[in-house]
Amino acid sequence: MCNITVKLMSNDTEELIKDVTQIEFCTSDILVSTFFEQDRALSGYKPVLIDFLQGLVVLERQTSPGQLGII
């Protein structure tokens, strides 16, 4: 089996996507494909860590400028 896992981090929550077969970084989305689940298009995330030894990719949800107090 695949040994790549994607960890989605958003505020205080984490979600794991296991058995990842492909990650495609598009202009507006990140597409994640797995063996057993439907492909997912993730909007508003950015990659913050790719650990080849642990087989882990961490994607962090971005906050909008308005939420940061930036106009």
Residue 47 lies in domain? 5-68
In one-letter notation, the amino acid at residue 44 is G
pLDDT at 17: 97
Tokens of residue 15, six digits: 């979600």
Phi, psi of 3 (to 5 degrees): -120, 30
Contacts of 30 (CB under 8 A, 6+ apart): 23, 24, 41, 42, 45, 47, 59
Q: Summarize pLDDT for 38-66 with one digit per residue, the tens.
A: 999 999 999 999 999 999 999 999 976 55
What is the share, in percent, of the chain residues with pLDDT greater than 70?
86
pTM: 0.82
pLDDT at 3: 82
Contacts of 68 (CB under 8 A, 6+ apart): none
Domain count, the chain: 1
pLDDT at 35 exceeding the cut of 50: yes
Q: What is the mean pLDDT of residues 8-16?
A: 95
